[in-house]
Structure formats: C-alpha cells, structure tokens
Amino acid sequence: MRRRSVTLLGLAGLLALPLTVLPQAQAADGLVSGGKAVTASSVETSAFGPGLAVDGNTATRWASAEGVDPQWIRIDLGANHTISRVKLDWEAAYGKAYRIQTSTDGTNWTDVYSTTAGDGATDDLTVSGSGRYVRMYGTGRGTPYGYSLWEFEVYGAPTGTGGGGGGPAVPFGSHLKPYAAGILKPSGTQSALDQKVVDYYNRWKAAFVRQNCGNGWYQVISPDADHPYVAEAQGYGMVVTATMAGADPDAKKIFDGLVKWKIDHPSSVNPNLLAAEQDTACKSVNGGDGATDGDMDVAYGLLLADRQWGSTGTYNYKDLALKHIAAIKKDEVNATTKLLKLGDWSSSGDQYYYITRTSDWMADHFRAFRAASGDTTWDAVRNAHQTQISRLQSTYASGTGLLPDFVVDTDTTPRPAPGQVLEDPNDGAYWWNACRTPWRIGDDAVTSGDATSLAAARKVNGWIKTKTGGDPNKIAVGYKLNGTQISSGSEAAFFAPFAVAAMTDPGSQAWLDALWSKMLATPIDTSSYFSASIQLQVMITASGNHWVP
C-alpha cells in the first residue's frame, strides 16, 4: 500500500473553499450502518473492499480506483430509515466535490447534502432525509488518487413501527432492546460482531433455506433429521428470519413463505399447531401431529414478525400467534404440572404424559406469550419450569449444573430419565437435546436479568469453564450429569450454547472471547441444520441482537 502524501492533503485543504458543515446532530438516533451490506463503484484492490468502511475499525478502509470520477459507495440499511446524520472519516485520498444521497429503491436518488469544497479529514454532517440506501457520490477528487474512507457512518432510526413504514421496527444491528445490566458481549466493536453474524447467517441461509414443492412455500431443510423437513427447523427459521430483518432484504418474503408452510401443514391433533414431519414430497407423515419445540419457536417467531412488520399484510401474524399460543396451552402443556409435554400427541393416561424435554423450556418465550396473550397461566408455566431447573441442578447435578435430555415422573418427583424413554439410552444425560439448555436458559437471563435464570446459567458456566481449563476445544460431545464425558469430538451444538451462559458471568470475558473465536473458526456444517442453526442463534444472542417481543 502506498501512503498518501500529507503535504498533498494540506495543499488541497488550502486551495479548497470553506466547507459548509452543519452542527453535529443532537438527536438520540443511533448508528444504523454498522455491518450492513455495502457496494461500491470500484475498489483500488481487493484489500480495500467497501465493507471495510462499515466495520467499525478505523485502521481499515475502502478505496476506489485511482484517477477516475465519479465514484460512489452505497450502504443498504435493509429497510427504510429516517437519516439524521452522516459521518465521513476520510483517508488522505478524499472527496472535494461529493453528495450524500438517499434512496428507497437503490435507483432513484435524492441529495441530502452536497459540497464542492471538501477538505478531507472528518465530515460530520447533519442531514434530513429518509431511505433504505445511503451513498456518498463523489464527483471531484481532492487528490490525484481516488476516494478512500476509513469509516462511513449513517445515523437514524427505522421508519416502521411494525409494518406501517414498510421497514422492520427492530432491524438487525439496531440494538434497540438492551440486555440486563452486567451482561457480557464478546470483545470487539459492535459493528464487527454484527457483521460476523450476518456472514454466518448468509452461509446458513444458502445451506438450508429452500423453496421446494412450489406453493409459495419456504422451508428450512433438515438433512440430519429423520425427515427432510421437521417442525424444529421451521421454528428456527421463523425466529431467525424475523430477527435478521434489516440485514436481509428478503427476510419478510422468506418469513411469509414459512408462515404459508405452517398454515398448509397443520397438526392432525390441533390444526393451529404445525405438523412435525414432512417427506420429500412436502407431505406430512407419521400421523401429522405436533412437536412442542417447533411450536414454541413458531409462536415466538410470529410474535417477532408482528413487532417487526405489523399484522396488516398478507398474514395477520398476531392472530396466528395468539391461536398458536392458545393451542400450545391446550395441547402441549400438562394441565396438572404446568410443564411442557413432548407434543400434542401425548394425552392423559399414556406413558409419555408425565415426561418433558428440558430443551423446550424457553423462559423468554413464556414471557412473550404472557405479554401477547395477557394470560397469567404463562407466568405459572414459566415458574414451574424455572423451579424444576433449579431443583434438577441441585439434586442431580450439584457439581455441574447440567440438565438431562428428558425428565420423567413429573406428576410425583421429577427426575432424569433412567434410560431410553423416547430417543436414546442417554435420555437421562446431557446429550443431543439438553445441549441447547445453556443457550435457552441464558437467553432469558441476558434479556430479563431474572435471578433464577442467571443462577442456573452461571452454575453450568462455572463448571464447563473449569472442566475445560478455559479451552473450548475440550468441550466434549455429551456428558453424564456428574460431568463424565460421553463422547469425543467437537460439535457446534455442544460448544456454542455455553457462550450464552458465559455472558452472564462478569468474570468470564476471556472464556466468552475464546468461545466466540471457536465459533468463528468453525466452518458451517452444511450437513447439520441442527448444529448450524444453534450456533447462528447463539451468535445472534452473543452479539446483542436477541430480543423478546
């Protein structure tokens, strides 16, 4: 890289007319450009790509081709925003004549600022405009080189409040829903964390999101499950796409395709729930009944969508959510114990009626269901599950805090499954279901600050950090509740969830950073929707982007 001449910049500054820069915006609008998709008219070399202008790192930059006008760099905010401030941190190769422009469609542009007397350094501009796209359009270079920006920052707010303005109300990266006090995030700039999530999401989407069998459907494929499509995967997809709105311009389109899939594949037991499994012809199989884990996330995803886009479009998300929540209460909550059943197919008198799966125990979902429905039953349901988490940890895993895949005898004295009760001889161990519990418990802890959830997450975090000596590569595939390793290897489904638990402990910054680095260094497993979807959602939480509708 050639260094630009400082004397050249100084000469340009002397020759330039005074730059008219308005005072810095005083509004509380936040940074909305961090980690967003960026394109440019050109790059000097591949080492100076446009994304480097929104990565939050003032040591990296975008640089255009040299000696050519005009040039531009464009940020896609993912949805319409009001724009109140633009900040340009120029490298020595600056723009003398340039415009700041906004657009709703990326084709038709409106000037919100213009100058022919730029002098480089930092331009902190108060503007008034709106659009999904913001660009710097340079028409006159201040040096013989090109245009180069260390950082291109846009400040504003989404125009949508849930559908009315067309954009998501809580766009990804907006961080409008802060976590509880004292919660950690991985080290690094916020925009850099957000960008890593967007990158992983794009790989996840390419690997697993499909439009098979027509009918306007979108699905998340499950190559590692018993069937090509399972409710759990669709639930993950709905939560993820609603959360990524603002980073993915197709989020609503994908979400609506997933909604259509849900509507067109009703449970045979309760048509307001989702049938658990579909074959290659996209037809429900194995009785077509529902699975609690998938239904929990479908309902939660619909609530997110209602907050993001409102419910006046093609689908009434709120109405669908309330019907789904009521159906979960009717057919997937044990009326006696207030604990979740395995699915709507289990009924009083059968051998599974007093069995529950710990990975379904999503306290933040229960809070959202309570808020949306106004039904205090969900408070009782949440309390019942949190009571069992604490009891199981203290009684059966006092040294580890680990939970078993399945809990039996919930009508008398709930205890870990004594052996295979549904899936595997390790049904009573920390295995392929319970591996998600540090994430599920942690999601409630970081968003609500609830003392019970915090204590449960911190217990398991303290154990795994000590067990591995702070090395995420030593996290095994499965443990007995006493901490004895079951299997060797390294799986994202097992190591990633511990990152959310680590966020709850103020003394675990280095451990959290190590877990984050482990996730970034692990290639996405395109053969496992399970591991990849879990890691993606953990990264969403770890970066500060999980929120409760």
Rounded to 5°, angle at Cα 304 from 356 and 314: 115
Longest Cα separation, the chain: 88
Closest CA to 280 of 228, 319, 327: 228
User: Alpha-carbon distance 127 to 359, whole Å?
Assistant: 48
Closest CA to 293 of 243, 346, 359: 359
Phi then psi for residue 220, to 5 deg, are -105, 120
Q: List the structure tokens of 154.
A: 């846009």
Single out the catalytic residue among 91, 153, 194, 232.
232
* Residue 93 · residue 2 · CB < 8 Å: no
Q: List the structure tokens of 433.
A: 């279901």
Strand order in the sheet with 406-408: 356-357, 406-408, 415-416
Write out the E strands in 382-459.
406-408, 415-416
Q: List the structure tokens of 263.
A: 């509507």
The residue count of the chain comes to 549
List, in sequence order, every residue forming a beta bridge with 158; answer none if it has no partner.
81
Helix (H, G, I), strand (E, B) or coil at 77: strand
List, in sequence order, every residue forming a beta bridge with 1; answer none if it has no partner.
none
Closest CA to 24 of 94, 87, 67: 87
Element (H, E) at 388: helix 377-396
Element (H, E) at 103: strand 95-103
* Residue 137 · residue 72 · CB < 8 Å: yes
Q: List the structure tokens of 534.
A: 């879990």
Look up 66 and say whether it is catalytic: no
Terminal Cα-to-Cα distance of the chain (whole angstroms): 48
CB neighbours of residue 510 within 10 Å: 12
CATH code that applies to domain 188-541? 1.50.10.10
Element (H, E) at 516: helix 509-521
Region class of 6: left (phi > 0), else alpha (psi between -120 and 50), else beta: alpha
Averaged pLDDT, groups of 10, the chain, 549 residues long: 28 33 45 89 90 92 95 92 94 97 87 95 93 95 96 87 62 91 95 94 97 97 96 98 94 97 98 98 97 98 96 95 98 98 96 97 98 97 98 98 98 96 95 98 98 98 98 98 97 98 98 98 96 98 97
Domain 28-156 has CATH 2.60.120.260: yes
List, in sequence order, every residue forming a beta bridge with 87; answer none if it has no partner.
124, 153
Cis-peptide, bond into residue 249, ω within 30° of zero: no
Antiparallel, parallel or unpaired: β 62-63 and 148-158: antiparallel
Single out the catalytic residue among 248, 293, 443, 491.
293
Q: List the structure tokens of 393.
A: 């940890």
List the domain boundaries for the chain: 28-156, 188-541
Q: Where are the alpha helices (DSSP H) in 403-478?
A: 437-448, 451-468
* pLDDT score for 5: 28
* pLDDT score for 291: 97
Closest CA to 91 of 14, 151, 136: 151
**CB proximity list for 361: less than 8 A, separation 6 or greater:** 340, 385, 388, 389, 437, 440, 441
User: Alpha-carbon distance 319 to 316, whole Å?
Assistant: 5
480: DSSP letter: -
Look up 232 and say whether it is catalytic: yes
Phi then psi for residue 490, to 5 deg, are -145, 120
Distances (CA, A) of 199 to 220, 536, 548: 18, 10, 23
Rounded to 5°, angle at Cα 134 from 131 and 139: 135
Closest CA to 395 of 421, 410, 413: 413
* pLDDT score for 15: 34
Would you list the DSSP string of 247-270? Answer: TBTTHHHHHHHHHHHHHHSB-SS-
Rounded to 5°, angle at Cα 377 from 372 and 383: 105
* Residue 73 · residue 38 · CB < 8 Å: yes
Residue type, 487: S
* Residue 297 · residue 157 · CB < 8 Å: no
Helix (H, G, I), strand (E, B) or coil at 54: coil
Would you list the DSSP string of 105-141? Answer: SSSS-EEEEEES---SSEEEEEEEEEEEEEEEEEEEE
Phi then psi for residue 441, to 5 deg, are -65, -45
User: Alpha-carbon distance 290 to 134, whole Å?
Assistant: 45
